[in-house]
Amino acid sequence: METSNSSWDLIIKPQSKWFDLHLRELWKYRDLVYLFVKRDFVTLYKQTILGPAWLIINPLIATLMYTVVFGNIAGLSTDGLPQMLFYMAGTITWEYFSQCLLNTSATFQANANIFGKVYFPRLAIPFSITLSQLLKFALQFLFFMAFWLYFSLNNAEISITWAASLFPLLVLIMAIQALGLGILISALTTKYRDVQNLMTFGVRMAMYATTVVYPLSSMLEGSTKRLFILANPMTPVIETFRFGFLGTGTFSWIHLSYSAASGLILIILGAIVFNRVEKNFMDTV
């Protein structure tokens, strides 16, 4: 009896297609993604007294710190905006990007014991990280809006502009940038651990190359410094966010398209490399 090739449900071969994300399979495992998100969320604050309040306390403390250090001591410009709001807008957006990036880039190492025992689409892990971080970001964003309301009632010079409607797009750009770069790095770290060591301070340094603690307008138009900061694809996202919700900031369609394009390139590149690595990473991790 010979079975024809087409009747097999699964064929395991050494080479895989150049670009095959198993997206259909990932959809089949959507419950797993949901449960991973739930797990991340539920376990994060088990056995803590303040629980989910930590989600708000963290950016609040960071904001206060920046207000004291950069706002008061260093006296950096905040584009005339209330310092608290200015820093908080930068902090929560940067926090979303950096947490996604740091966690997804550790995908293979953090889950090596699970990956070594059972198969499921490996992308489920970075996807679930991006989603659970998104949930946190949503909560922090609500907190930010509460602050916004407080300042607005106290006659601060802030206004919501039309660009606020770009908010979903901004989140999407951040998500694909972090996910793309994250899975790219996670694929590299399976063999070369050096990259993982670079991550922690690399992300911190990148924060200072992004307009988190200063506005883009503080750089001279056309200066190399400004170009360098603009070359960072996260800069337009944060600037647009500030422009949308606080009314001042540098907005340009060109900058934002550049951001979106680099996000797309990162996610495609990341997907290709991740796809190459995910099959055999257990042998090297």
Partner 1 sequence: MAKTVIQVENLSKQYRLGLVGTGTLQHDLNRWWHKIRGLEDPYLKVTDSNDRSKSGSSEYVWALRDISFKVNEGEVYGIIGKNGAGKSTLLKLLSRVTGPSTGKISIKGRISSLLEVGTAFHPELTGRENVYLNGAIHGMDRREVSQKLDEIINFSGCERYIDTPVKRYSSGMTVRLGFAVAAHLEPDILVIDEVLAVGDAEFQKKCIGKMKDVAGHGRTVLFVSHNMASVKSLCNRGILMQNGRITHENEISEIVSHYLSLNISDNISINQASFDPLHKYPIELKQILVYNTLNKSPAIKTGDPVTVSIDLYNTLGTEASTSIDITLIIKHEDIPVTTLSTRFVDSLSSVNSLTHRIQCQVSNLGLLPGEYTVFVWLGVNGETVNRVESAMKLVVERDQTSWARIQPSISKYGPHVIDQQWQL
Answer yes or no whether residue 4 interacts with partner 1 by CB under 8 A. no
Answer yes or no whether residue 195 interacts with partner 1 by CB under 8 A. no
In 3D, which of 109, 283, 124 has the Cα closest to residue 185? Answer: 109
In 3D, which of 173, 169, 202, 196 has the Cα closest to residue 184? Answer: 196
Answer yes or no whether residue 50 interacts with partner 1 by CB under 8 A. no
Count of all residues that appear for the chain in the document: 285
Answer yes or no whether residue 31 interacts with partner 1 by CB under 8 A. yes
Residue 139 burial by Cβ neighbours in a 10 Å radius (0-12, 13-18, 19+): middle
Residue 256 burial by Cβ neighbours in a 10 Å radius (0-12, 13-18, 19+): buried
* Candidate residues 66, 86, 115, 251; the one interacting with partner 1 per rule CB under 8 A: 115
* Candidate residues 18, 43, 73, 162; the one interacting with partner 1 per rule CB under 8 A: 43
Q: Which stretch binds partner 1 (CB under 8 A): 3-11, 100-108, 176-184, 254-262?
A: 3-11
User: What 3-state DSSP class applies to 205?
Assistant: helix
How many angstroms separate the CA atoms of 233 and 263, rounded? 8
Residues in binding contact with partner 1, number by CB under 8 A: 41
Smallest separation, CB 129 to partner 1 (Å):
15
Answer yes or no whether residue 18 interacts with partner 1 by CB under 8 A. no
User: What 3-state DSSP class applies to 214?
Assistant: coil
Answer yes or no whether residue 35 interacts with partner 1 by CB under 8 A. yes
Buried b (16+ CB within 10 A) or exposed e, 107-137: bbeebeeebeeeebbbbbbbbbbbbbbeebb
Answer yes or no whether residue 154 interacts with partner 1 by CB under 8 A. no
Nearer to partner 1, 13 or 17 (CB): 13
Nearer to partner 1, 33 or 234 (CB): 33
Binding stretches for partner 1 (CB under 8 A): 1, 3, 5, 7-14, 16, 28-29, 31-32, 34-36, 38-39, 42-43, 46-47, 113-120, 191-192, 279-284
